[in-house]
Chain A
Amino acid sequence: MKPTFFNWTHLIACLLVAVTAVLLSFGALVTTYEAAMAVPDWPATYGHNMFLFPLAEWLHGPWDLFLEHGHRLLGALAGIITLLLAGVAWRSATRPAVRWLAVAAVALVVVQGVLGGARVLLDDKTVAKVHACTGPLFFAVAVAVAALSRRTSPDHGPATRVPVALLVASYLQLVAGAQLRHLDATVEPSTFQLLVGLHIVGAVAVTVLAAVAAATVGAGGSTSASRSTSAGRWAKGIVIVVGLQLLLGVAAWVANWGMPSGLLPESWQLTEPLRARSGWNAVVVTGHVVLGMMILGASVVLTIEVGALGRSVTRRDAADAAAAGRAFA
């Protein structure tokens, strides 16, 4: 296919990443403010077609309604962009992985939309957890499409599987975090301790893996040029963000439950509402979630940059493009 001036697949994928980042931030705020049931019906919003809900009511109505309806509108926008991306990628992307990841993104965005609706209609916390775990997965796929659809080839630093481990660990951290974010009031103290323990172990794992990735990828060669590769910069950036995330994690605990006492809050009262639904507490707690997603996204880019899933990917690109022309014809 003749190259065009604009790399539309990459541009649309980048737009999708940006919209999804805002969408996930809105979703995190919805959870922080416990606003998921602010609109009790779905797919309608208080009986209105979602897209025709009065703008004034949305913008000047209650904060909970603003968050939940905004989250829905952003979700719809992400869905439309995803469909557009899949269409463009299928027609013009040179890397087959981009095409199939775009297809996976369509499947995930549809599932995510249905999960969002089910969460409201069933008012079920576990559905909310699944919704919270599918969002970052969709985000990771969008980031992967954006990274893979660039015209320039990845740097391919030294052979290491650490970025893959970091990617898996950062996603599982989000899964463990989702359990803590959507706590049931009836949860046992032992279960709470288990989740906190897992989250702390995950934090240690992510920190160690990020440091090892920075050390191996960032210092992958003997020349100063190799140290300043794109992969190296991503790895170092992840270390900095992980450091910030650790601080936010401690702050989020204090914002949610007060001072810690071992793996339990100082005063363990199962029915006590979270304290994070105001001011800076909300910013800290939501920021912790959003930063976790950014670490996941950066890990995806790092994994692709170093070709950790398959060192032969770049060498195969030309053959892939030719084969794809036949395979998808």
Chain B
Amino acid sequence: MTPPPASVELVRSSTLACGTVERVAAVSGSAVWAADLSSLTRPRIAVMVLATVVTSMWLTGGRPEHAGAAVVLLVGTALVAASSSVANQILERSTDRRMKRTASRPIAAGRLSTRDAWVIVAASLGVGVAAIVASAGWRPAAAAAATWLLYVALYTPLKRITPLNTAVGAVAGALPVAIGWLAANGPERLAAGDARGGLAVAALATVLYLWQFPHFMAIAWLYRAQYAAAGLRMLTVVDPSGLRAAGQSLAAALAMVPASLVLAVPSGSIRLFLAAAVASIVYGVAAARFAVRRDDASARALLFTSLGSLLGLLTAAVAFGRPV
């Protein structure tokens, strides 16, 4: 990682004689470093990926036999997710500079060199995949690597080419489900006649795929001006009226209702069924409101609703959805 930004350096050098200010500057430097690390690795996305993997494992095989191996698997998955995030920022550094939302990211702002960033990408990807192989075998590691490839090598460049990028990126968003399923020996269970875990995981993957359309369309609407300035062909840039984005959101949210309900089929849990109905219907109403209004307020509401509904759905799936 390169040194802290120039402003911190300036404070440090001009107040060298003053110990108190020096300590403040050092603290600021650490804070900036931590902020940069967070901006680079985007831990909130990693947490969502991990939540997906945990839910998938739980629905497939219940409590893992070896807790330590499961923890190593999650650490490895988090590293792969972080690696993909850094790689994405390397490839998008020029467009990031043109957007207010992303201009201060460490690579775009020049605080981290591209070469150093590639080292971080390679190291975290290598260690992450190795950790997954060691803890759960090569199949979940292959799924993690495929997710990385899809996100970095396909989705990221597609953002400049076609608004279909969301449909491709949503696959990468749903693929971590496969990591959990493979780690919990899903194929063996399926071959042994236990189809319920597979059905639950298939439903979860479908839910996650569909869930991303309203979520990302809301983001694409809120930052449409910045995306346009950066030359990214998001749907809200190609169609500034927002009609296509709103339409895709609505269609996906409505299709998500039955997919969410299917989550309850393997367990037969009435509680999960009801929770899934509430979460998906509330999401559907938020998407319908955005489809009709197409303004910032409804997009923001849709964005927050998306997070709440997914959190509720995953929590309910873990609490009540273990197949019997």
Task: Check B258 for interface membership: any CB of A closer than 8 A.
Answer: yes
Task: Check A168 for interface membership: any CB of B closer than 8 A.
Answer: yes
A174: nearest chain-B partner, CB-CB: B277
Task: Check A155 for interface membership: any CB of B closer than 8 A.
Answer: no
B242-278 residues with Cβ-Cβ distance < 8 A to A are 243-244, 246-248, 250-251, 254-255, 257-259, 261-262, 264-265, 268, 270, 273-274, 277-278
Q: A179-B270, A309-B285, A323-B239 are in contact. List 7 more A-B contacts (CB 8 A).
A: A100-B251, A104-B254, A107-B254, A133-B257, A168-B281, A184-B268, A310-B293
**A–B complex contacts, Cβ < 8 Å, 14 sampled:** A97-B291, A104-B255, A111-B258, A115-B262, A130-B258, A130-B264, A133-B258, A133-B261, A164-B285, A175-B277, A307-B292, A310-B292, A327-B241, A327-B244
Q: Residues of B within 8 Å of A, CB-based: how many?
A: 35
List chain B residues, Cβ under 8 A from A126: 264-265, 268, 273
Task: Check B55 for interface membership: any CB of A closer than 8 A.
Answer: no
Given contacts A126-B268, A171-B281, A172-B277, whether A108 and B255 have CB atoms under 8 Å apart is yes
B282-324 residues with Cβ-Cβ distance < 8 A to A are 282, 285, 288-289, 291-295, 298
Task: Check A19 for interface membership: any CB of B closer than 8 A.
Answer: no
The CA of A100 and the CA of B294, in the complex, are separated in Å by: 14
Task: Check A141 for interface membership: any CB of B closer than 8 A.
Answer: yes
List chain B residues, Cβ under 8 A from A115: 258, 262
Task: Check A96 for interface membership: any CB of B closer than 8 A.
Answer: yes
Contact surface of A with B, Cβ cutoff 8 Å: 96-97, 99-101, 103-104, 107-108, 111-112, 115, 124-127, 129-130, 133-134, 137, 141, 164, 167-168, 171-172, 175-176, 179, 184, 191, 194-195, 198, 307, 309-310, 312-313, 316, 319-320, 323-324, 326-328
Are A172 and B278 neighbours in the complex by a CB distance under 8 Å?
yes
What does DSSP make chain A's interface, helix, strand, loop or mixed? helix
Shortest CB-to-CB span from B168 to chain A, Å, is 19
Given contacts A108-B254, A198-B274, A309-B288, whether A327 and B282 have CB atoms under 8 Å apart is no
Are B293 and A312 neighbours in the complex by a CB distance under 8 Å?
yes
